[in-house]
Amino acid sequence: MNNINLNLLKYFYEVVNTGNITKTSEKLLISQPAITKAIKELENELNTTLLERNKKGVIPTEEGKILYEHAKKMFEDLNQTINIIENNNIKSGHLYVGTTTTNFINLLMNPIKEFKKLFPNVQIHIEFQNINTLYEMSRLGHLDILIKNDYETIENFINIKTFSITDKLVVSRKHFKELEEKTYTIKELLNYPFVLLTNNSTGRKLFDNYLKQNNIEFKPTYEFNSHSICHELIKEGFGIGIGNPIHYNKDFIIIDTDFELPTRTFNIGYIKTSKNKYINEFINIIQKKD
């Protein structure tokens, strides 16, 4: 067993525990084909069949049962060792933060810095995903803190703070210096090229609705589903963009307009079913920032 890939052994161990590849896939957040491929690879390494299918899922063969017992002891010993280490160092661990919006930067950077000063050995994991994926993560115990759009709902979410952002029109200072000279109407600005996120993003939807309410037809020059790509193209002078002003430094002009874009509202809170001992510490830091 010395040369066996431990990841392959872990997948096999979890499949036997659940008796079902689909359940194992959900538990480990790994695709079913990847788990099936891993089991096949392990069987090839050992030159034997480890699992057999039945009506309910899969069961280990005789060789599989032998391997499972060895793996079970190894992983139980490993978990026991990890528990001993964690109990000896109460300030070590993980905090899982999920977000559906890049605007979390506006709220979290300073609290994260303060949290890291207090708990330097705690690893903070930030997942940028859609609300459905984050729900699955919370259901499987892989989510502690959540930042989401106000209109998004998720089971067991406890809101502790609400904040709002009003997007602005931004442009490269180097390439559009003239747009710093006066206050502009929306119709004047629409004569320029625009670089926007695709219309499945919240900010874009609000902008499109604003134009529709004012009976203005519009199609941007460039559309991308990546915030970072839009940011770079705006900086390089491809056109006007829309976004949270905090994301744009002195290389950009925040265009002065005679209108306000719609305000976006966000919530930050925690997952009620999470048992992470660091949630309260992080929440206390967030609340101090009020």
Instruction: Report the chain's mean pLDDT, rounded to a whole number.
Output: 86
pLDDT for the residue 84: 60
Digit-coded pLDDT (tens) for 91-150:
668 899 998 877 666 667 888 888 988 888 888 998 888 888 999 999 888 999 999 988
Average pLDDT over every residue of 151-177: 91
Rounded (5°) CA angle 237-242-244: 115
Residue 25 has pLDDT above 90, yes or no: no
Digit-coded pLDDT (tens) for 165-200:
889 999 999 999 999 989 999 999 999 999 998 887
Per-residue confidence band for 1, with pLDDT thresholds at 50, 70 and 90: very low
Domain positions in the chain are 6-88, 93-165+266-288, 168-261
Taking the alpha carbons at both ends of the chain, their separation in whole angstroms is 55
pLDDT for the residue 89: 54
Share of residues in the chain with pLDDT > 70 (%): 92
Domain 93-165+266-288 identical in fold to domain 168-261:
yes
Residue 131 tokens read as 């609300």
pLDDT for the residue 101: 76
93-165+266-288: CATH topology: D-Maltodextrin-Binding Protein; domain 2 (3.40.190)
Rounded-to-integer distance, Cα 25 and Cα 32, Å:
5
Total Cβ atoms within 10 A of residue 290: 5
Digit-coded pLDDT (tens) for 199-248:
878 888 889 999 999 999 999 999 988 888 889 999 999 999 998 887 88
Decide yes or no: CATH 2.60.120.1440 for domain 6-88.
no
Residue 2 has pLDDT above 70, yes or no: no
Per-residue confidence band for 87, with pLDDT thresholds at 50, 70 and 90: low
Rounded-to-integer distance, Cα 220 and Cα 206, Å:
14
pLDDT for the residue 181: 84
pTM as predicted: 0.56
**Which CATH number is associated with domain 168-261?**
3.40.190.10
Rounded-to-integer distance, Cα 281 and Cα 277, Å:
8
Select the more confidently predicted residue: 14 or 56.
14
Digit-coded pLDDT (tens) for 60-81:
999 889 888 888 888 787 777 6
The burial class, CB within 10 Å (0-12 / 13-18 / 19+), for 77 is exposed
